[in-house]
């Protein structure tokens, strides 16, 4: 199958390590991920809170430029906006017409969209991934954190079970790690309120970190730039405000998978993580 990549804005900024580790892993697995030429921002929360047509037209513009190939996204928010645009445009002729007027051309809402986790599990296959693992992450207890927008609403994303998704758990297991059964897989981290109302983010990320620790996790694994940044960068603020130090490394799933595949840490952007993962990785014999 051939794909085109929609990195999304975060992967060019705060989540450059997600971009780097995605490319490293894709390369090693023989997945070609050329970018959609001149893709533009999906509009994110700002667009859907402000203008419903803009919220569909922005992703539709990039989807229409995909040449009919499957669009792969890494950011859960981009994924959600791309999927929502397809859902609304393909099911409603009036919406399709309005979007066409905004774009200046028709778009049918049928460009397939997949998250990288879906590509890894459904297209590449867990057996093929396991076959590439050189340094299984034995003994590493991971809490897979999916956040909101990969699995919700299921009618739109059709990603996995909305209450207990398992795709990331399956990838981590193929990498030799031990994914934990824990209840906060799809709780919200507060996302972009990190800037406008950080109190919300501190409360919500604190709950997630606390639950991961109670579940016995060595680290949290994420699939979204906002989840990762909030859980990683806000640990210091949580310590200052609540006097609770978690010290939990927050990885992207591509970073852990890359390590298990024997890729060099520097090709996986581990230095960009705020909570230093090296002591944990060294203690587990990964690096």
Instruction: Please give the Cα distance from 185 to 220 (Å, whole number).
Output: 10
Q: Which residue of 126, 133, 210, 233 would you call a contact of another protein, by CB under 8 A? A: 233
Selected from 29, 103, 278, 287, the binder of another protein by CB under 8 A is: 103
Is 212 among the residues that bind another protein (CB under 8 A)?
A: no
Decide: is 148 part of the binding site for another protein (CB under 8 A). Answer: yes
Q: Quick check: 241 binds another protein (CB under 8 A)?
A: no
9 binds another protein (CB under 8 A): yes
- What letter does residue 140 receive in the DSSP assignment? -
Count of alpha carbons within 13 angstroms of residue 149, beta-carbon side: 25
Residue 268 near residue 24, CB atoms below 8 Å: yes
Stretch that binds another protein, among 145-153, 211-219, 245-253, 255-263 (CB under 8 A): 145-153
Judged by CB under 8 A, how many residues of this single chain contact another protein?
60
**Does residue 166 bind another protein (CB under 8 A)?**
no
CA 238/CA 51 separation, integer angstroms: 34
Instruction: Please tell me whether residue 192 binds another protein under the rule CB under 8 A.
Output: yes
Distances in Å between the Cα of 26 and the Cα atoms of 34, 47, 116, 172, 206 are: 11, 31, 9, 16, 33
Contact region with another protein (CB under 8 A), list: 27-35, 107-115, 119-127, 272-280: 272-280
Which of these, 105, 110, 101, 123, lies nearest to 33 by C-alpha position? 123
The burial class, CB within 10 Å (0-12 / 13-18 / 19+), for 17 is buried
Query: Quick one: which of 1, 2, 13, 122 contacts another protein (CB under 8 A)?
Result: 13
Write out the E strands in 180-224: 219-222
**Does the protein bind another protein through residue 135 (CB under 8 A)?**
no
Residue ranges in contact with another protein by CB under 8 A? 9-10, 12-17, 38-41, 43-54, 57-58, 61, 98, 101-104, 148-149, 152-154, 162, 186-188, 190-193, 195-200, 203-204, 229, 233, 269, 271-274
């Amino acid at each position: 199958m051939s794909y085109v990549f929609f990195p999304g804005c975060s992967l060019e900024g705060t989540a450059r390590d997600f971009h780097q580790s995605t490319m490293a892993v894709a390369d090693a697995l023989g997945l070609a991920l050329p970018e959609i030429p001149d893709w533009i921002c999906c509009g994110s929360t700002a667009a859907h809170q402000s203008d419903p047509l803009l919220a569909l037209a922005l992703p539709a513009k990039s989807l229409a430029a995909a040449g009919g190939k499957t669009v792969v996204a890494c950011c859960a928010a981009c994924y959600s906006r791309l999927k929502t645009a397809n859902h609304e445009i393909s099911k409603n002729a009036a919406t399709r017409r309005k979007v066409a007027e905004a774009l200046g051309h028709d778009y049918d809402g049928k460009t397939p969209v997949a998250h990288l986790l879906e590509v890894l599990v459904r297209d590449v296959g867990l057996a093929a991934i396991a076959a590439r693992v050189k340094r299984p992450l034995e003994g590493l207890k991971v809490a897979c954190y999916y956040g909101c927008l990969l699995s919700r609403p299921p009618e739109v994303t059709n990603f996995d079970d909305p209450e207990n998704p398992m795709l990331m758990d399956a990838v981590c297991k193929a990498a030799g790690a031990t994914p934990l059964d824990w209840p906060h897989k799809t709780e919200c981290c507060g996302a972009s309120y990190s800037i406008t109302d950080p109190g919300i983010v501190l409360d919500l990320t604190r709950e997630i970190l606390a639950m991961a620790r109670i579940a016995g996790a060595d680290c949290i694994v994420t699939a979204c730039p906002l989840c990762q940044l909030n859980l990683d960068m806000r640990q210091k603020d949580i310590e200052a405000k609540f006097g609770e130090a978690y010290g939990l490394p927050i990885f992207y799933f591509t970073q852990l998978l890359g390590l298990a595949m024997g890729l060099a840490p520097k090709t996986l952007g581990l230095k960009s993580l705020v909570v230093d993962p090296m002591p944990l990785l060294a203690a587990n014999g990964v690096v």
